[in-house]
Structure formats: C-alpha cells, structure tokens
Structure 1
Amino acid sequence: MTVVEDRPATADTPPPRRVNPVWALLRNSWRQLTSMRTALILLFLLAVAAIPGSYFPQTSVNRERVSQYYTAHPQLAPWVDRLGGFDVFASAWFAAIYLLLFTSLVGCVLPRLRDHARALRSVPPEAPKRLERLPQHAPAVTRPEDPAAAAASLAGTLRRKLFRTRVVELPDGGFSVAAEKGYLKETGNLLFHFALLAVLIGVGFGHWYGWHGNRLLVAGADQGFCNSIIQYDDSALGPEVTAADLPKFCMRMTDFEATYQTTGQPKSFLATVQVEEGDGKYRTESFTVNDPLRLHHANVHLIGQGYAPILRYTDRYGVSQTKIVPFLPTDAMQTSEGVAQFPDVNIDPKTNRRDDQLQVGFEGVYLPTGGTDGSATSKFPAENNPVLYLAAYRGNLGLDIGKTGSVYALNRGQITTGELKKVSGERPHALHPGETWTLDDGTKLEFVGTRQFATLSIRYDPTQSLLLVGAVLGLIGLMLSLFVHRRRVWFRVLPANGQQAGGSVIEAGGLPRTDYPGFAAEFAALTQPAAEEEKS
C-alpha cells in the first residue's frame, strides 16, 4: 500500500509523490521517541520501575532476605519472582525502559547540541524597529556624548556584566547596541542530559564488567574465606567476567562490635578483619556500614549481622562434634532462626558404618535477650540474657538424596514422610550458654556459646568513577538550567536633532527568552545610568 500526498496537480508542478508507509511510520516513530516529552516520560517510567527494587529484597544484594520473604509470603513470592521483582535491575522490562531512554536521549541531545553550537557562534540580532512593543521598554533619553561614544560606553557596560554585545552602525548615523546573556542555561540543559547518558553508560558497562558476591562471615580465625566463587553464599559475574578474573585476597573477621540505643535501635556497627591480598601478609582493617573496606578491585560492604550459636553434640558412642551455625535474624531485636544438622554421627566403631536413621538435627530459635515470660521473641538485640530454644529430630536428614535445600531449615519433606521424626517433647527445650541437654537415647547437646557474624557484600564496579563524575556534572547542569535565564537587551542610539555633535538620543528595550521574574529589575538597572545623565 502507498500513500499519495494530497497536492493539486498543474501543468507547472510534478505529479504527486508516493510516500512509503513503512518509511513514514518509522520516521514518525523516531520523531516521537527522540522528543523531549518522550525522554521525560521514559525517565519517569525508569524511576517508577526502580521502586520495586527498593521495596522487594533483591537476590543480587541479599539472598537471605529473599528467602525470608518467601517464608513470610508463600503465596505472593512466586508471582513476584515471575515478574522479576527479586531481580528488578536485571529484568527484561527494566532493560527495555533503560535502552529506550538511552536511545531517546541520544536522539534528543545531539540535534540540540548542534543548534546550541550554532547559537554560540552567532551574534546577537539587531534591535527591532519598534522597541516599545517589547516586554521591557525605556523611553528615549538624551545624553551629551555623540552617538559613537554613547554606543561604545553602553557596549562596555554590557560586556562588564557578561553580556555578549554587538555594535552596528545604522545608515542614519546612529548605532544599534545588541546584547544577549544566558546561554549557560542551554549549556546546563545539555550538560545534564550528557551526564545522564554517562550514568546510563556507566550502569551498563558496570553490569558487563563488574561482579559481586555475598558472604556470611563468622568471627574467628577458623572461619576465614578467600575470594573464590565457590566460597560465596551467592554471587553474580558480569557477562565479560570469568571466575579467573576475580582479584586474589583472603579475609577473616577478628572482632565485631555492635551498639544499640535503649529502644533497641542500632547505633553503630564496626567490623575488624585481617586481610591478605596475595602478598602473604595479613593486615588489620576496620569498616562500618557507611564506610566500606576498599581493596584492590573490590569493595567490602557491611549489610547485616547476627549470632552463630556454638553447639557440641556427643553421640551414643561418646564421639563429639562441634558446629558453629549462624541463625538468621527475623526481626529488629535479633530474634533468630536456624538449624544444626549432624549427619555423620552415631557411627558404629566396630563396623565403621553409619546408620542413616540415626542422623540428628536441631531446629529452633535464638534470643539474645530472652524474657521471663517464655515468649519466643527477643527483648533486646544485644546478648543480655541469651537463650536457645531447640527441637530435636532423629532419622534421615535427606542430605544424601541429591536435592539442594536450605542450610537454615530442616528438610520438611523428610519430616512429612516420617523419615525424620521429632524426638523431644512438644515444647522446645531451652538452653543457656554452658548448659547441656540429654536426649532420650543418652546423647547430649551442649550449648557452648555464640559468635557474632557479619553479612558482607563484596562488589566491584569499574565505572564507579564515571558514575560519580556523571552525578556531579548532572547536578551542575541542573543548577545552571534552573538559575540561569536567557535574555536580550537592545539600545538604539540616534543623533540628537540629526546632528552628530549635538548629543545622542537613547532608547532601550528588553526581551526575556525564558520565564525570569527578575528581568524587570535588571533592565531598570541597565537603563538607569542613561536616565540619570539626562536629569543631570
């Protein structure tokens, strides 16, 4: 199908031109996409699309919180996951808005940059014939200087006030003084848009060449880790990054200090670690929530903390195993849930064989400050009265069936099928540090104590500097576009009584190119000297 332009055909005009409808659709679509209105709409949509990323926990930031969300909202969480709510900034719909905004900005900014460069090279236009029709007008006044001297004096005054000035001699012997100011407004607009493009480019390249990983690190020299993919609780590498590209360093946490207000609100967190970056020498570093540890090609951020109970289980043959098991916080008072599993216990020393039905697991809640009412919630986040409530299970833990599961909960499928049975009473058993619980088969569980742990987010973004520069330049451009106003001022200087030596008559007019409430006062200040000289 073709479209024929509706133009009358005459003997002197060519026949109607046929327009390809596909080309017309593409051209109109491009014009709409690269318009400023579309860019603003896409920018607004990008901001709206980022809201779920701050409302829902993100897998790339903290997988533990995503698991907690699944537990708290078992019906809603799968739908949120299908829509990309737990990984908003890597979702297809967010990427589509991002790419459309980038394309719109490029198509919008480049033509404006060309027009702005042309405007900077141009000279202010001559004064219009009817100055009295302009928004600001100063009636004609007489000055004793000849027109050339008066025009030169006015041009000098305007240049000192940073106006771009042009003086043109008129055919009748007079002069036109044209001045313009405020080009930095459009410069600020362009700077802001180019800064936004720099930020978008930085985010894109940061995703391609960056990486991040989360690690729950328990205090103690025996709980250290090295920078390897397999040692992260969860991690993500950019498309252009491989595991071999990760920088070499090892870390162990020696101390963690947390202080709280009387209401239980956190006051400060301070993690002290020992770091070795491939040179064989450990150095001590400290970092807080808002002051990350900066390593070579990696930054370590503190994003969470909690407690890891130390449990020692002694089986029926007198063999003991000790485990340090982190319990994940479920509220602001550090009420924490977790599980301790002992699959390799009750091994018969005569046959050296393990009975899978004699594996043991403990599931429960840890309260840093337990109350006297026996409730299963902590009263304060610090360890003022630590108590551990546990329920014991015996049977097949289901760790050898080849299916992945959470290390913070027992296999519910094994409990449902009866392969893992509860062996304690209906109520969980309460343990304080140093206390021992003897089970029905004579085995014992001792609550040795606790260690603190920190949840670390280790990230590398090669475009961090570009993002910082883009953000600073964007603010500068925004300030220029908001507080700079473009305006024009004209003075027409004519000989008094038609004689060059008889003084000059000066008339002025002004035109604000943008909304500028203060232009009237500025125009009055520019024209005041001429009026005062006439009075004198």
Structure 2
Amino acid sequence: MTAVDQRPAPAAEPPPRRPNRAWALLRNSWRQLTSMRTALVLLFLLAVAAIPGSVLPQRAVNAENVAGYFRDHPDLAPVLDRLGGFDVYASPWFASIYLLLFTSLVGCVVPRLLDHARALRTVPPDAPRRLERLPQHAAAEPRPGDPAAVAAAIKAALRGRRFRTVVRERPDGTWTVSAEKGFLKETGNLLFHFALLAVLIGVGFGHWYGWHGNRLLLEGTDVGFCNSLAQYDESSLGPRLGPADLPFFCLRLTDFHATYQSNGQPKTFGADADVQTEQDGPWRPVAFTVNHPLRLSQANVHLLGHGYAPILRFTDRFGQQQTRTVPFLPRDQMLTSEGVVQFPDVNIDPKTGKRDEDLQVAFEGVYLPTVDPAGGATSIFPAEREPALFLTAYRGNLGVDAGLPGSVYALDRGQLANGELKQVSGQRPQRLTVGQSWTLDDGTKLEFLGTRQFATLAVRYDPTQPLVLGGAVLGLLGLMLSLSGHRRRVWFRVTPPAGPEAGGGGSLVEAGGLPRTDYPGFREEFEQVVAAARDERTP
C-alpha cells in the first residue's frame, strides 16, 4: 500500500508587484526638476528670455515706442506681438520659466537645508582605523602625559582654531579626537539660494502690486499734476491694483536748474518743487536730482531729463488770440528739440459762432537753445545762449476732431497724405527769436513770447524693493561665504606606548586629515594644526 503524503502544499508566492509607471515618471521628473543642474539651466533660460525685454520696446514702459516699431517694421512687428515680444515680462512663456525656476529652487534648497541642519547637529565621526591612508598624515610621535590628558590638550588646541571637536575613549585605552570645520561653505550656498528665492518673490509680488507712471511737467506754479492715471503720459498698474489704489499726492515744478561743461556735457540736474501729500493739505517745498529722487510714503519721483517748451501766441483773422506752451522733445544731447503747436479752435466767426475745420492752423519745427553761427541745423550747446525757433506753417483739418488717439508732438501724417492738411502756400519756414512775430498770408500772426523749461518725471512704487535689495545683499554675502569656505576633517589618535617606547609613561600621537572639498591650502593648514596640537600644554 502506497503512503500518501499528508503535508500541506506550500502556499503560492504572490506575483511580483508591477511598478507604477505614472508614479515612477512623476518621481523621476521631480528629481530632475529639483536638481541643481536644472536650476542653473532655468536661470540661464530666464536671463536669455529677458533679452527681448531689453532689445524691444515694451508696452508697459513706452507704448509710443511700440507704435513706432509697428510703423517701422509692419511685417515683423505683428509676429513679435503674437509671441509676446512687446510684453515679455507678462508673457506666458516667461512666466513658465519663472515658475519652473522658483519650483526648482524650492525643491532643491529645502532638502539641502534639512541635511545641513542634521549635519550641524551631528558630531564628527570617529577616527578611521588607518590614518596613514588619508591625504594628509602625521606619523606617531611620543608626547609626555597620559592619553586622556594629551587628548584634552589636543581638543583645546583645536577648539582654539574654531574646530568642532569630540573626544572618544576606546576599550583598549586609546583616545581619539575628531574635529571638523568649514560648515560656512554650505551655509553660504543655502544663503545664496534663499536670497535668489527672495529676489524672485520680490520681483513677482512687485509686478503684482507695483505701479509706475511717466509725466512731462512744465515749470511754473500755475501748472502741476496729481497722482491719477488720467494725468500721466504713460502709466502701468500691477494686475492686483486698480486706479483707486493709487496714493494721493500733487506736485508742481517751481524751478529747474542745470549746469553744463564747456563741451555741452551735463554736469548737474536739479529740480525744485512743491508737493502736497494730503487732500487740502499744505504745500511743502522739496528738491531732488537725478541720483537723489523725491521719496514719498508710497512713491518715488525720479528726474529723467528736461527740455524746453516754446510759448507761442496766435492771432486769428478775427483778432482772437490764443496762447499755448508746448514742449518740444529733445533729439540729441545739445537739446535740439522737435515739436508741433496746434491751434484747432481758431478762426471762429464771431457772428455765427461756427468754426471752419479747414482753417485750423498748426506750426511744426525745431527749437535750438543755441544757434550755430555757421548755419548748422542743430544746437551747439544745451543752455539757452542764442535761442531760435524754426517753424513751418500748416492750414487745414488737423484731424483732432475724429476722436482717434494720436501724438501731440507730431502732425497727423494721414491728414497730410490725403490733402486735408497742407503747408501754407507761399510761406517758407520762418526763423523766430524771442519777441519776434510772423504774419501769414491771410493776416494771421504768430508771436514767439519765450520758453519754459520742463522736466521728465518717472513716478514708481515697488512694495518689495527692500526685499529685493536685501536678497541681493544676502546673495552676495552667501556667495562670498561659499567661495571662501572649505569643509575639512582632522583626527588625532592618542595611544599609550608599549614596550621600550614607553620611556617614562608618555603617549603616542598620530594625526590625519581629509578635505571634504577641493582645498589647495589644506596641507599647510594641517601642518599648522598638528604643530598647534603639539605645542599645547598638557593639563
């Protein structure tokens, strides 16, 4: 009879778990994104992506330059506009690089911070068994005193050189001294990366909650402006701000003074102004220059440049007079300035009260603060020494009643092209000095009364400017610590001598050193450490 095996059958092994490919892909992608190499690549890409913002005009800074670029490059400009070339810092691709860099830095720095904190709490490791295999080694030398006292003396010498030290006793009576130094290198690395994060945060929040505006302000207490979008020539608000969020202040330019070198190069620019910071509050005098802006509680007023605004009085065919003070924009360092003076509301018939749009008048030309005696077309000095105004007269429909936006510093070229606006026939360009007048063919007259100076102001507010400045300073400090710090370890082994070497109950001291980073001067430092430990008096 055959015996039957009653033992239970072995349990079947569970099938191996298949790895989750999606999780593995996410984990590997995160590791790749948070690596230092990726962070450096993204930082380089961010720098490259910022180049178009410096080369191309930006709408947030100067919309007129963008419009001029469209006129000069009608085929290329629309393509660049679709790619975000004129709004680089608000484009999706720039924001993507920015956010990826921020995520990469956070994922890279936080684990390193935790590792660094653990390293600071961890005592230096015990001495290796064979110190002679280390890059730096000092052979065993006898030293008077028992091993415990010698180890204590070596520890004191190392602590005097700012090493973190720990003394250990082994069962065989051997004492070891472990020392470590150079944690400031990693501290500097972390400080630099956290400073970079602070700069990124500051730039991002500064874009959200900051604003700026540019204003051309005439000299005189009878003109001024208050802080509202409608009174800026150009302005830009952060996405989180509205027009009602702008702080209140009013400014009027009372005086502008400039000095020049003999070659016409500017020496000093300065502006005197009155500022009002409260509704119906008092006006207080202030002064600011190019390098010292006017600092208000929630805005800084920067002085960018200046120029001249001719004062012209026009008498129409019915004897009515209008006076305009119009800034002419400088086109060179000698303040050769171009501009246009428009009189759309002239030649109104007093009997009917109607205005003939075809009798509107404008004068376009150039203002020279100092005329070239040789007859040149440009000014030879930026100060008003021999000022003159060269104008060409136009009559017709100026196109200002159409309601379309246009520049106040140039005539509508479309009106000139379609013949609605024409140069006054029989009238050559006229040169006028202060006090002179020009009578046109229909009896109308233009008088040059003088000039006023104007200042170009940039009003800016960035709530995170201190954060960005602090991040830049801390980043520089961290970089210096990172470059100057070197992490290294030193070990000493103190053993009681055996046999004939006992020689009076002394000890044998052996040392070894290991640089944790590339440190060309470690050999000299190791020798100095060994010499200091040898010379330390045994207690």
In the superposition, the TM-score normalised over structure 2's length comes to 0.92
Q: Which residue of 2 aligns with 1:5?
A: none
Distance 1:244 1:332, change over 3 A: same
The letter of the residue matching 2:463 is P
Q: Give the stretch that moved more between structures: 68-77 or 299-308.
A: 68-77
The alpha-carbon deviation at position 89 of structure 1 amounts to 2.5
What letter matches 1:421 in structure 2? K
Matched-pair contact (CA < 8 Å) for 2:154–2:533: no
What do residues 310-340 of structure 1 show as CA deviations (whole Å, max 9, x unaligned)? 1111111111111111111222222221111
Aligned positions of 1:82-481 closer than 5 A: 82-278=82-278, 279-423=280-424, 428-481=429-482
Match of 1:514 in 2: 517
Percent of aligned positions with the same letter in both sequences? 70
Q: Is 2:521 the partner of 1:525?
A: no
**What is the CA-CA distance between 1:82 and the residue it aligns to?**
4.8
Distance 1:69 1:447, change over 3 A: farther
How many pairs are equivalent?
524
**Partners of 2:196 and 2:471 within 8 A in 1:** yes
Aligned equivalents of 1:385, 1:239: Cα separation in 2: 49
Task: Give the superposition deviation at 1:160.
Answer: 1.6
CA deviation profile, 1:265-289 (whole Å, cap 9, x unmatched): 2222111110011152111111111
* Deviation string, structure 1 residues 22-79 (Cα, Å, up to 9, x no partner): 3333222221111101111111222233333334444434456556666776776665
| Structure whose CA Rg is larger | 2
Instruction: Quickly say closer, same or farther: Cα 1:427–1:486, change in 2 above 3 A.
Output: farther
The 5-angstrom pairing of residues 39-54 of structure 1 reads 39-54=39-54
Residues 1:374 and 1:415: Cα distance change in structure 2 (over 3 Å): same
User: Bigger shift: 11-20 or 232-241?
Assistant: 11-20
Structure 1, residues 488-514: CA drift from partner, whole Å, max 9, x if none? 111111112276971111111111111
Q: CA deviation at 1:351?
A: 0.7
DSSP-derived class of the 2:32 partner? helix
Matches within 5 A, 1:30-69: 30-63=30-63
Give yes or no for contact 1:146–1:501 (8 Å, CA) kept in 2. Answer: no
500-509 or 411-420: bigger deviation:
500-509
Shift in Å, 1:429: 1.9
Q: Deviations over 1:344-367 (max 9, x none)?
A: 000001111111010011111222
Contact 2:272 2:288 in 1 (8 A): yes
Deviations 1:183-204 (A, max 9, x none): 1111111111111111111111
Residue identity opposite 2:471 in structure 1: G
Q: 1:72 to 1:386 in 2, by over 3 A?
A: farther
Summarize the Cα distance change of 1:43–1:145 in structure 2 as closer, same or farther, 3 Å threshold: same
Once the two structures are TM-superposed, the CA of residue 222 in structure 1 deviates from its matched residue by 2.0
Aligned partners of 1:77 and 1:267: how far apart in 2? 39
Structure 1: distance between partners of 2:236 and 2:90: 11
Shift of 1:81: 4.7
CA distance 1:63–1:369, change in 2 (3 Å):
farther
Contact in 1 for aligned 2:398/2:415 (Cα 8 Å): yes
Mapped contact 2:102–2:197 kept (Cα < 8 A)? yes
Partner of 1:4: none
Give 1:416's aligned amino acid: A
Q: 1:533 to 1:189 in 2, by over 3 A?
A: closer
Task: Quote the offset at 1:19 in angstroms.
Answer: 3.1
* Structure 2 counterparts to residues 473-492 of structure 1, below 5 A: 473-492=474-493
Q: What is the CA–CA distance in structure 2 between the aligned matches of 1:81 and 1:390, rounded to whole Å?
A: 37
Q: Deviations over 1:444-502 (max 9, x none)?
A: 11111111111111111111221122122111111111111111111111112276971
2:180 counterpart letter in structure 1: E
My pick for the range that moved more, 245-254 or 371-380, is: 371-380
Q: Deviations over 1:413-450 (max 9, x none)?
A: 11111111111558532222222111111111111111
Task: Specify the SS of the correspondent of 1:323.
Answer: strand
Residues of 2 paired with 1:88 and 1:378: CA distance? 37
Other structure's SS at 1:97 match: helix
Structure 1 pair 47/243, CA: closer, same or farther in 2 (3 Å)? same
Q: 1:528, 1:25 → 2: CA distance?
A: 55
5+ long unaligned stretches in structure 2? 1-10
Q: Counterpart of 1:272 in 2: which secondary structure? A: strand
In 2, distance between residues paired with 1:533 and 1:214? 70
Q: Distance in 1 between matches of 2:392 and 2:117?
A: 75
* Change in CA separation of 1:66 and 1:334 when aligned onto 2, cut-off 3 Å: farther
The separation in 1 between residues aligned to 2:158 and 2:182, in whole angstroms, is 13
Cα pair 2:157 2:536 within 8 Å, conserved: no
Residues 141 and 530 of structure 1 are in contact (CA less than 8 Å); yes or no, is this contact kept in structure 2? Answer: no
Conserved 8 A contact 2:158-2:165: yes
Asked if structure 2 preserves the Cα contact closer than 8 Å seen for 1:436 and 1:444, the reply is yes
Q: Give the root-mean-square deviation of aligned CA atoms.
A: 2.3
TM-score (norm 1): 0.92
Q: Bigger shift: 85-94 or 182-191?
A: 85-94
Contact 1:496 1:503 (8 Å CA) reproduced: yes
Cα distance in 1 for partners of 2:224, 2:148 equals 84
> SS in structure 2 opposite 1:223?
coil
Structure 1 residue 402, shift from structure 2 partner: 2.0
Instruction: Between 263-272 and 161-170, report the one with greater CA deviation.
Output: 263-272
Whether the 8 Å contact between 1:143 and 1:530 is mirrored in structure 2 is no
TM-aligned CA distance change 1:73 to 1:372, over 3 Å: farther
Q: What's the CA shift for 1:225?
A: 0.7
